[in-house]
Each structure stands twice: as C-alpha cells, then as structure tokens.
C-alpha cells in the first residue's frame, strides 16, 4: 500500500465579479474573486489549508492583484446581485450584434435596449466597459482588414 501526499498552492474561484477591460491584457474579460492558499493534499484531496490570500483575477490572461480582507467582504456583497457569467455573455453577444448592425447607437439607446431585452440588471459601469471593449475589438478588426 502507498500514500500519495502533495503540497503546494491552490486557487479557488469564490465569486463572479462581472465584466471589465483587463488592465493587464487590454481585453474584455470576466473577473472573479479568488482565494489562494498553501495546502497539503492526500490523494489529490486538500486536507489542510493555510496562509490564505484574496485577489481579483482576469479569466482571460489569469493576471490578478491581491486585495485586503475588507475589500473581499465588499466584493462578496457586490457579487450577490451580479448577473451570472452566462447572462453577461448573452449581453455581450447582443451588444456585439447591435454595434455591428451598421448604425452606431449612443450609450443611452444601448442601455435602454439591454434593459428591455433582459430581465436582470446590468450596472452602467459594466455596460460602459462592455461597449468600450467591443468597440476596441471592432476597431482592431477593421484596421486588420485595411492592412491586408
């Protein structure tokens, strides 16, 4: 008989925090509240965890930054009313179609269309970040087409 024991650090996603443009990779990304801790595992099952740190991480490039305990509590409270990642993906897809339709609607028009189309609340800051990220992606795509 043998026992498999391991040690290292582990990451756990604790809460979904919404969509923003990542300051590290510059892409529109989902962000999560992440717990990182040192751990000992027996047969790949964590048994003991210590040295917990909290952070916010980008789902695309995995870059993140550490936050304090009081900021963690604030993030957990904010996450309670946040739409899910799937719901935010639906909004991003809808906004992408709206922005590619030929007309260039202003922010107020897009906000009202999102409010009428979806049965959940998207805060203005998240909506602005999504529109900004989608417009940047569209600009980069048009520059690429012009180059080639």
Give the single-character DSSP code of 44: T
What's the pLDDT at 146?
Answer: 56
Angle between helices 107-117 and 85-100 (to 10 degrees): 130
What's the pLDDT at 114?
Answer: 86
Domain ranges of the chain: 1-80, 83-148
Angle between helices 107-117 and 124-147 (to 10 degrees): 110
* Global pTM value: 0.74
* Sequence-separated (6 or more) residues with CB below 8 Å from residue 91: 83, 114, 118, 122, 127, 130
What is the arithmetic mean of pLDDT over 32-45? 84
β-pair type (64-67, 28-42): unpaired
Q: What is the pLDDT of residues 69-121, one digit of tens each?
A: 889 998 898 888 888 889 888 888 888 888 787 777 788 888 888 888 887 77
């Amino acid at each position: 008989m043998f026992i498999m024991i391991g040690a290292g650090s582990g990451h756990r996603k604790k809460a979904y925090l919404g969509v923003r443009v990542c300051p590290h990779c510059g892409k529109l990304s989902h962000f999560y509240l992440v717990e990182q801790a040192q751990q000992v595992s027996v047969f790949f099952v964590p048994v003991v965890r210590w040295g917990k740190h909290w952070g916010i991480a980008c789902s695309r490039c995995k870059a993140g930054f550490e936050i304090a305990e009081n900021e963690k509590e604030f993030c957990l409270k904010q996450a309670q009313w946040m739409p899910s990642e799937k719901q935010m993906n639906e909004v991003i897809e809808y906004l992408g179609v709206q922005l590619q339709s030929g007309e260039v609607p202003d922010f107020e028009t897009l906000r009202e269309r999102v409010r009428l189309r979806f049965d959940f609340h998207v805060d203005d800051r998240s909506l602005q970040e999504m529109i900004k990220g989608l417009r940047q992606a569209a600009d980069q795509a048009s520059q690429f087409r012009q180059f080639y």
